[in-house]
Amino acid sequence: MAFGRGEANALGWRDIIEIAQEEHIGHVFPKKSTPLLLMHHLSDLHVCDAQSPTRPEYLDRWADPDSPIREKVGTIGTYRPQSMLSPHVVEAMIQSLNAITSGPLSGHSIDAAIITGDTTDNAQLNEVSWYLALLDGLDFRPDSGNYKIYEGVIDESVENYDLRYWHPHGTPPGKEDDDARAKYGFPVIPNLLNSCRKPFKATGLKFPWFAVHGNHDALLQGTVAPAPAINREMIGNKRYIGLPSDVTLADVLTSFQEIGPASYPDAFDAPYIEVTADIERRAVERGEFAAMHLASPGLPVGHGFTTENVDKKHMYYSTEIGKVKLIVIDSVNHFGGWQGSLDVEQFEWLEREVSSANKPVVLASHHPLSKMFNSYAPIGKRVCVEEIQEMLLKYPSVIAWFAGHEHRHHIKWIGPEEEVRGFWQIETASHADWPQQSRTIEIVQDEVGDIYCGLTVIDHLGGTHFGDATEPVEIAALSRALSANIWQKRAELGATHDVNWWCGRPTDRNVILRIKKR
């Protein structure tokens, strides 16, 4: 099954429709082949505690179509109407992937899955626990704070009602319809804020799976390094709804940057709403992310991480799987900023790992190479795109690099001579934004020694209708529909990049790539 967007109604809302699967383009996949590596590739799950009190959703309205500074701020990304539905999207994707046990092009068995970072949205302990429960097939409750009521910005209270957020339960007495429903055609889904917080038993991924560290797994809002003062606010009882009087919007936006440093303003006299405190919202510490994976009952043990990652508090490793060497990079700049880079120690380790490989090498990181330019380093030095690319191109064993981060499907050849000198970089879309897809990657070798990468996009199990959105797969279907209708990404409302930008070009989706024999 494949899904697309239907015709827009009077308010621009588009229902989800079933469409034909795209044919594979590019090279002809070999009829006979030797498998090197077959993997399901998931990225940017953004499992989110949308009720967490320090989330600055109120900033996002400055990117709305009616914002006078929209062109200056671009996309802010601190609010998504579907954020609280993120666990259900992952559940629906796992159910889809579990049914694909062999490559659709080669027929060879799937070796494993890899998740290239941003498994969580705000680097919180409870978010990591939920993501691991989803992958491991455990019982869990995607809820925090007060289990009796929803306490996020889209709650149904009269006193906290804000027109700028979608309120799925409808309009409280005496209030106007919110913008999402009145201007953009969003639906009313009675009881959704209770249904999405119900406990459920996850299906669990039936393949060995490997983890990758992303900026949202390490930094608050993917940008700010956790600090004691911020951590106190994360677990506290104040949900801030605006800026303090001594801070301007420009101050905040300049402190949330691609390149660090990055910081939250002091709370001072910022307006707030009292919510239920929850210690499970604390920030995950460096090394703890790996320790939680080592405690997972799934395979392989640690999902790539070892006790060395816990002890040394770094998140990179290498392993052998199929007939390749898989090298997982930690591209997060832990000093702050949402783009990536490497420290010198990891860069030197990476070259040793690549240079010593006696088989094809596949790299995996959260950031693609093009976004490895966060050079901020209050101590030491960060290694960025030019040095990394120059080093890797010395070694013909490198054949592919899997990444995410930009929430889009994108394929690019890295190197001076396509299919001959260099490697393929394969970026896969997110679960947070349209089109909420993953992909299957089949790397094989033909009889003359050429290597082929067959890429197939996979939709999650949520269908075209979400019904009352009471069960996980229905809720995932609703999330897909919401993601397809984000008002900030509508071309008719002046969006620079329409929502379909995340889908990439046809050559970024179902495509067959080749590397000539070396």
Find the Cα–Cα–Cα–Cα dihedral 26, 428, 94, 305, rounded to 10°.
120
SS3 190: coil
- Residue 475's nearest CA partner among 169, 124, 90, 165 is 90
What is residue 220's predicted lDDT score, i.e. its pLDDT?
94
Do 307 and 334 contact (CB within 8 A), yes or no? no
What is residue 253's predicted lDDT score, i.e. its pLDDT?
85
Do 308 and 299 contact (CB within 8 A), yes or no? no
Angle at Cα 445 formed by Cα 442 and Cα 450, nearest 5°?
120
CATH fold of 2-515 reads Purple Acid Phosphatase; chain A, domain 2 (3.60.21)
Stated pTM of the model: 0.97
Distance from C-alpha of 24 to C-alpha of 63, rounded to nearest angstrom:
36
Distance of CA 336 to the CA centre of its chain: 18
Q: At what angle do helices 472-483 and 86-98 cross, to 10 degrees?
A: 110
User: Would you write out the chain's pLDDT as a tens digit for each of its 518 residues?
Assistant: 799 999 999 999 999 999 999 999 999 999 999 999 999 999 999 999 999 998 999 999 999 999 999 988 888 999 999 999 999 999 999 999 999 999 999 999 999 999 999 999 999 999 999 999 999 999 999 999 999 999 999 998 999 999 999 999 999 999 999 999 999 999 999 999 999 999 999 999 999 999 999 999 999 999 999 988 889 999 999 999 999 999 999 888 888 889 999 998 888 999 999 999 999 999 999 899 999 999 999 999 999 999 999 999 999 999 999 999 999 999 999 999 999 999 999 999 999 999 999 999 999 999 999 999 999 999 999 999 999 999 999 999 999 999 999 999 999 999 999 999 999 999 999 999 999 999 999 999 999 999 999 999 999 999 999 999 999 999 999 999 999 999 999 999 999 889 999 999 999 999 999 999 99
Distance from C-alpha of 336 to C-alpha of 186, rounded to nearest angstrom:
35
Q: Which pair of structure tokens corresponds to residue 315?
A: 């998140």
Which residues is 362 bridged to in the sheet? Answer: 326, 400
Q: Which ranges constitute the DSSP H helices of 224-343?
A: 228-234, 249-255, 288-294, 307-312
Radius of gyration of the chain (CA): 22
Q: Is the peptide bond before 435 cis (omega within 30 degrees of 0)?
A: yes
Q: Which residues contact 397 (CB under 8 A, 6 or more apart)?
A: 325, 354, 357, 359, 360, 361
Q: Provide φ and ψ at 371, rounded to 5°.
A: -105, 15
Distance from C-alpha of 405 to C-alpha of 288, rounded to nearest angstrom:
22
Do 309 and 346 contact (CB within 8 A), yes or no? no
What is residue 75's predicted lDDT score, i.e. its pLDDT?
87
What is residue 482's predicted lDDT score, i.e. its pLDDT?
98
Which residues is 355 bridged to in the sheet? Answer: none
Distance from C-alpha of 154 to C-alpha of 275, rounded to nearest angstrom:
13
Do 138 and 64 contact (CB within 8 A), yes or no? no
Intra-chain end-to-end CA distance of the chain, in Å = 37
What is residue 188's predicted lDDT score, i.e. its pLDDT?
98
Residues in the chain: 518
Distance from C-alpha of 108 to C-alpha of 126, rounded to nearest angstrom:
37
Q: Which pair of structure tokens corresponds to residue 261?
A: 């440093």
Q: Which pair of structure tokens corresponds to residue 29?
A: 């996949």
Can you give the residue ranges of every domain in the chain? 2-515
